């Protein structure tokens, strides 16, 4: 098949969606399919990318590490016509997701949508964040899903949420896979030595994008509280993002700065080695649709302590591969860390084996094969004229109106920025004229 993946985030951006698109793309290609990725331009992009079309974008939108795609798609139409896609797979309901919808309608192609993100938990990146904005983005993503031929949910929890919100399009659970063999490799002792971590230290680790929606202030506070009870414990933090400063301030206030070890973005094989260096993986996010870093940690044999949340409870099984906490308090999290740190070596080995066994259930070979089989089923139904998507002109008009509202808000925001910039520089110029 010729598969077109349309995403607002892609390498070198680090995040769940970008990594998901990258992994599925690599596995589809390995299994003999052709994939065209349409994504924004990012700083420090790889050179000479194979079958990737980049769209101009505004970088670091509103202080985040996201890009906002600009409506310049001239070269895209010719690239699509040359590619002859059999399937269009959208990974967002807006920006390039809107382009995917229009192209699917134009070329009469099946449209798949993966609902990667609970978008209402990211509205703090948008000016005018409010409860009304949260409801608006829920309505937008639900309406978009109902224009598609099939929706992929990364977990059963998300599938149930989408059904409750009124998604009528068929939903299938298709998690992003993990390369179990890759993450089982690596050198934990070597990584510890490189990071100047004591060989006998008890290492609590966390890896991911360091952003407010990941509940990292809670996590850092709980881990710091645990470190104050255990002099041999250290915290290994891997990733980058706007919450980095907050985390470091928490450890500094607790006089634990020397036991916080931070390193930025890592790629294989160092990524696997970083997991291998950990004794436990700590996770407190409640905004996940799928805990990809959890399956990576488990592939490295690292048990997890996490808060119960959608996308997490499908991976973490309390007492089997870690601890899944119903009590969302700092005290409960600290107690869970203490309980695992004090386990006998035999009991810890059982948790590590349970973690590795769980990871095999999420191997990327099996998840990609499932996705490909679902593509083929949608394609066959489409060819028979048995399209299951909602496509009424009235509902499409409603979705278009929501997109227009986003554009209007964006234009207003840009105008405010331009006016402020003009006022600032205008005043600066006048000041310079003074004697």
Cβ proximity of 168 and 141 under 8 Å = no
Please report the pLDDT score of residue 46 as a whole number.
75
Beta pairing partners, 5: 37, 89
CA–CA dist 87, 379 (Å, integer): 7
Please report the pLDDT score of residue 172 as a whole number.
97
- Domain 2-177+365-421, classified CATH 1.10.3720.10, yes or no: no
CA–CA dist 278, 297 (Å, integer): 9
Please report the pLDDT score of residue 324 as a whole number.
98
Task: Name the class of domain 180-361.
Answer: alpha beta
Please report the pLDDT score of residue 384 as a whole number.
78
C-alpha distances in Å from residue 269, one per residue of 176, 185, 430: 20, 8, 56
| Tokens of residue 428, six digits | 């600066």
> What residue ranges of the chain are covered by domains with CATH 3.40.50.2000?
2-177+365-421, 180-361
Please report the pLDDT score of residue 96 as a whole number.
85
Please report the pLDDT score of residue 64 as a whole number.
43
291-313 pLDDT tens trace: 889 999 999 999 999 999 988 99
Name the nearest CA neighbour of 364 among 114, 23, 115.
Answer: 23
Q: How do the pLDDT tens digits run along the chain, 435 residues long?
A: 999 999 988 877 667 788 899 999 999 999 999 999 998 887 777 778 889 998 875 444 444 444 444 454 567 888 888 999 999 999 988 878 888 988 898 889 999 999 987 655 544 445 444 566 667 778 888 888 998 999 999 989 889 999 999 999 999 999 999 999 999 988 999 999 999 999 999 999 999 989 888 999 999 999 999 999 999 999 999 999 999 999 999 999 999 999 999 999 898 899 999 999 999 999 999 877 788 899 999 999 999 999 999 889 999 999 999 999 999 999 999 999 999 999 999 999 999 999 999 999 999 999 999 999 999 999 998 887 754 444 445 555 555 665 555 554 445 444 444 454 444 444 443 343 343
Please report the pLDDT score of residue 54 as a whole number.
87
Please report the pLDDT score of residue 8 as a whole number.
87
CA–CA dist 36, 34 (Å, integer): 7
Angle between helices 131-145 and 156-165 (to 10 degrees): 100
Cβ proximity of 216 and 333 under 8 Å = no
CA–CA dist 10, 42 (Å, integer): 8
Please report the pLDDT score of residue 355 as a whole number.
98
- Backbone conformation region of residue 402, classed left if phi is above 0, alpha if psi is from -120 to 50, else beta: alpha
């Amino acid at each position: 098949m010729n598969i077109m993946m349309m995403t607002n985030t892609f390498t070198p951006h680090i995040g769940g969606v970008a990594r998901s698109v990258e992994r599925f793309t690599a596995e589809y290609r390995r299994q003999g399919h052709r994939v065209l990725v349409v994504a924004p331009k990012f700083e420090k992009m790889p050179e000479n990318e194979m079958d990737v079309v980049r769209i101009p974008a505004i970088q670091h939108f509103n202080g985040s590490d996201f890009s906002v795609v600009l409506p310049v798609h001239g070269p895209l139409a010719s690239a699509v016509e040359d590619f002859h896609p059999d399937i269009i797979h959208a990974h967002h309901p807006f920006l390039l997701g809107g382009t995917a919808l229009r192209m699917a309608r134009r070329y009469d192609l099946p449209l798949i949508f993966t609902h990667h993100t609970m978008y209402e938990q990211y509205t703090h990146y948008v000016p005018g964040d409010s409860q009304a904005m949260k409801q608006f983005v829920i309505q937008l993503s639900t309406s978009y899903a109902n224009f598609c031929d099939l929706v992929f949910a990364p977990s059963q929890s998300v599938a149930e949420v989408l059904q409750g919100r009124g998604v009528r399009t068929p939903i299938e659970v298709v998690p992003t896979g993990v390369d179990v063999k890759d993450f089982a490799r690596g050198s934990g002792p070597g990584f510890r030595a490189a990071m100047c971590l004591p060989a006998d230290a008890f290492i609590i680790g966390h890896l991911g994008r360091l952003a407010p929606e990941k509940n990292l202030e809670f996590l850092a506070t709980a881990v710091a509280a645990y470190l104050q009870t255990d002099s041999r414990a250290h915290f290994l933090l891997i990733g980058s993002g706007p919450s980095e400063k907050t985390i470091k301030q928490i450890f500094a206030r607790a006089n634990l700065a020397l036991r916080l070890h931070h390193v930025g973005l890592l790629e294989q094989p160092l990524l696997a080695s970083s997991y291998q260096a950990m004794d436990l993986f700590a996770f407190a996010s409640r905004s996940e649709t799928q805990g990809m870093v959890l399956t990576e940690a488990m592939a490295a044999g690292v048990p997890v302590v996490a808060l119960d949340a959608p996308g997490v409870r499908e991976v973490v099984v309390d007492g089997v591969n870690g601890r899944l906490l119903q009590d969302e308090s700092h005290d409960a999290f600290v107690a869970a860390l203490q309980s695992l740190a004090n386990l006998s070596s035999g009991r810890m080995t059982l948790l590590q084996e349970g973690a590795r066994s769980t990871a095999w259930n999420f191997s990327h070979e099996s998840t990609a094969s499932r996705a490909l089989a679902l593509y083929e089923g949608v394609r066959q139904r489409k060819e028979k004229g048995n399209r299951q998507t909602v496509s009424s002109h009235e509902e499409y008009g409603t979705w278009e109106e929501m997109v227009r509202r986003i554009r209007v808000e964006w234009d207003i925001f840009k105008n405010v920025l331009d006016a402020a910039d003009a006022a600032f520089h205008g005043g600066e110029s006048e000041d310079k004229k003074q004697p």
